[in-house]
Structure 1
Amino acid sequence: MAGDASVVVTLNEDENRWEARVDGELAGFAAFHRTHELVVFTHTEVDPAFEGRGVGGALARHALDEVRAEGTHQVMPLCPFIKAWIGRHPDYIPLVYGAAPRPAAD
């Protein structure tokens, strides 16, 4: 199942969530709380009309990429979707609070 190239993800600081839009229409969001050290993902939701189009994956990847790029916070994935997505994309595990560091490649 390929992602939909028209998914645009933006941070909505006022609502404490990353939002995914398809052709300008809100298709889903990933809600979070930010602490001094953590970005705590609490809930991810995709409108049923947009399921199967890569919206959830786009939300997870974009949000986690932004957290990684900032370099100031770790992630606590309380949201089952974000937690499972990270599990399928091990390059993001080092972002998770309390995760064991990955061994260096030879």
Structure 2
Amino acid sequence: MSEQNRTIRHEAEQNRYVLEVDGQEAGFASYVPSEGVRDFDHTVVDPAFRGQGLSSPLIKFALDDTREQNLKIRPSCSAVEHFLNKNEDYRDLAV
């Protein structure tokens, strides 16, 4: 699978970021918004797409977009917490 077949978009009205692979929804990262903070509470990669390293680009995109909006995060989801532990340049986003 090549990266050009991946797209990630923010579905703000559903409070989630969606990853598509070849036009199919492969996963999402959802959050609960509150006063300047997005509580990332759930990250899911569809079983058909697991093992392809898709959660990291999805979380990275979501955190980069959150940073651009001058918001902070709460990593309630273990996948987001794991990402922060491995990528110290994102730790400043956490409250």
TM class, shorter-length:
over 0.9
Q: Distance in 1 between matches of 2:17 and 2:66?
A: 11
Distance in 1 (CA, whole Å) between partners of 2:37 and 2:47 is 30
Query: What per-residue deviation string (whole Å, max 9, x for no partner) do you get for residues 79-101 of structure 1?
Result: 0010001110110000011xxxx
* Identity among equivalent pairs (%): 31
Counterpart position of 1:90: 88
Consecutive aligned runs of 4 or more in structure 1 exceeding 6 Å deviation:
none
Answer yes or no: is the 8 Å Cα contact 1:40–1:78 preserved in 2.
yes
Aligned length: 94
TM-score, normalised relative to structure 2: 0.92
Task: Specify the alignment match of 1:101 in structure 2.
Answer: none
Q: Which has the larger radius of gyration?
A: 1
Write the distance in 2 (CA, Å) between the matches of 1:70 and 1:38: 10
- The answer on whether the counterparts of 1:30 and 1:60 sit within 8 Å (CA) in structure 2 is yes
Secondary structure of the corresponding residue to residue 53 of structure 1: coil
For structure 1, the residue ranges without an aligned partner over 5 or more in a row are 98-106
List runs of 5+ in structure 2 lacking aligned partners. none
More helix by share: 2
State the superposition RMSD in angstroms. 1.3
Aligned-partner residue type, residue 78 of structure 1: S
Distance 1:81 1:44 in 2: 7
Q: Tell me which residue corresponds to 1:78.
A: 76
Q: Which one has the bigger strand percentage?
A: 2
Q: Hey, what does 1:26 align to over in structure 2?
A: 25
